[in-house]
């Protein structure tokens, strides 16, 4: 089953990339948006990306990073996006056939992450490439009021997965074992022609923008070397990004993905969040070096030239932690993303127009001419609404 899904995703991406050269921009994203990639367990998606990009001779690192490099010489520029998303792994199989889970990452991305997982359909990805359907147990709203001290359904310790097994032996007979990743079955769905919603929308928007960018990378007129990368384990301390930085040592870098605003000094201060449809976000460091400031100014100037709405947000730098010393970000560093509503929830929402604007800004950065169809290629134009 999983081999079929990987092949189908690779085919969809390949024909999309091939179509860019002839002015076609339709990408059937349904399968791509359904494939889970719990942080630390991105190998299946990485393999599908590598297969889809095989004409560009991608490199796959041992942390499952996938990247394409074109050009030669200086400057060395890097455009990267993360492909992983938060989820769970099986931590215990009970004697009566249920599974308990541990969260990945262990720190909850937001206060309601676990609460919104209760009573939701899930998929358990096994080590023999099967996808076993299940569901997180949930309390009956009719029976709960009569119970003394019922579970509050707001903590990972209260989460149990049911795959229909009656014993631990039946669970293992289905191919499920401890440490197998668990993710919500719901993928990303279209909201008419204007947007999309679902878990991992922020990651998939960046992923699709870079996939389309690779489709036109050979049209780039900039001098030097350009690497476009799909990195893993960003939710686990940026391990994939750290590995990539130690391998290629870029002179300048654009990280495409989630923009984490710096919280206000006064926690009671209400900050207006950018809304989907309002343009591209540029994450600026609170204390940026001169190189970063000039790079941010360059991207802002490109956005103005292309008439792309751009909002500058004071943002946290990407988190890179580990046992060894973390690799340093280049001085010329910037973050780009799109506004998200209800981030890191099953209802995370983004506007297709913002994805197209982001794609066009990246093309302009690489001196790729505007396509004849207008702004960008219309990310989401080929999305199928599936559940």
Instruction: Confirm whether pTM is higher than 0.95.
Output: no
Res 77: pLDDT: 97
Average pLDDT, the chain: 86
Single out the residue of 173, 166, 48, 175 nearest to residue 123, CA to CA: 175
Helix, strand, coil: what percent of the chain each, to 5? 30, 25, 50
| pLDDT, mean of residues 238-259 | 95
How far out from the chain centre does Cα 337 lie? Answer: 11
Three-class secondary structure of residue 186 per DSSP: coil
For residue 384, name the pLDDT band (cuts at 50, 70, 90).
very low
Q: Check: CATH 2.40.30.40 for 87-184?
A: yes
Average pLDDT rounded to a whole number, residues 252-256: 97
pLDDT at position 26: 30
- Helices vs. strands in the chain: H and E counts, helices first: 8, 17
pLDDT tens digit sequence for 198-238:
999 999 999 999 999 999 999 999 999 999 999 999 999 99
Helix 352-365 crosses helix 201-215 at what angle (to 10 degrees)? 40
* pLDDT tens digits, 351-368: 999 999 999 999 999 999
Please report the pLDDT score of residue 148 as a whole number.
79
Show me where the domains of the chain are located. 2-85+187-365, 87-184
Its CATH architecture, for the domain 2-85+187-365, is 3-Layer(aba) Sandwich (3.40)
Model confidence band, residue 86 (pLDDT cutoffs 50, 70, 90) = very high
């Amino acid at each position: 089953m999983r081999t079929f899904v990987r092949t189908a995703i690779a085919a969809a991406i390949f024909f999309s990339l091939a179509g860019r050269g002839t002015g076609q921009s339709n990408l059937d994203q349904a399968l791509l948006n359904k494939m889970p990639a719990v942080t630390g367990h991105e190998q299946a998606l990485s393999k599908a990306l590598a297969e889809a990009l095989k004409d560009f001779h991608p490199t796959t690192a041992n942390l499952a990073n996938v990247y394409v490099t074109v050009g030669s010489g200086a400057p060395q520029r890097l455009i990267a996006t993360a492909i992983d998303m938060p989820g769970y792994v099986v931590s215990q199989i009970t004697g009566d056939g249920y599974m308990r889970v541990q969260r990945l990452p262990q720190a909850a991305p937001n206060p309601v992450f676990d609460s919104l997982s209760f009573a939701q359909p899930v998929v358990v990805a096994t080590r023999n490439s099967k996808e076993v359907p299940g569901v997180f147990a949930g309390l009956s709203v009719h029976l709960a009021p009569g119970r003394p001290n019922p579970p509050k359904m707001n903590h990972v310790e209260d989460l149990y997965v049911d795959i229909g097994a009656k014993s631990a032996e039946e669970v293992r007979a289905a191919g499920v074992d401890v440490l197998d990743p668990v993710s919500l079955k719901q993928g990303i769905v279209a909201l008419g022609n204007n947007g999309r919603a679902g878990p991992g929308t922020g990651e998939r928007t960046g992923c699709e923008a870079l996939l389309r960018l690779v489709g036109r990378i050979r049209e780039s007129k900039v001098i030097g070397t350009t690497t476009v990368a799909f990195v893993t384990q960003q939710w686990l301390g940026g391990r994939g990004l750290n590995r990539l930085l130690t391998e290629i040592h870029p002179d300048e870098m654009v990280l495409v993905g989630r923009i984490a605003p710096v919280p206000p000094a006064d926690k009671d201060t209400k900050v207006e969040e950018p809304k989907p449809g309002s343009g591209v976000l540029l994450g600026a460091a609170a204390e940026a070096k001169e190189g970063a400031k000039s790079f941010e100014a360059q991207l802002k100037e490109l956005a103005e030239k292309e008439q792309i709405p751009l909002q500058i947000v004071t943002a946290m730098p990407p988190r890179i932690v580990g046992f060894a010393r973390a690799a340093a970000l280049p001085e010329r560093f910037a973050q780009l993303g799109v506004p998200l509503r209800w981030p890191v929830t099953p209802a995370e929402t983004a506007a297709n127009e913002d994805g197209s604007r982001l794609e066009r800004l990246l093309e302009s950065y690489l001196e790729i001419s505007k396509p004849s169809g207008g702004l960008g290629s219309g990310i989401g134009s080929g999305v199928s609404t599936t559940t």
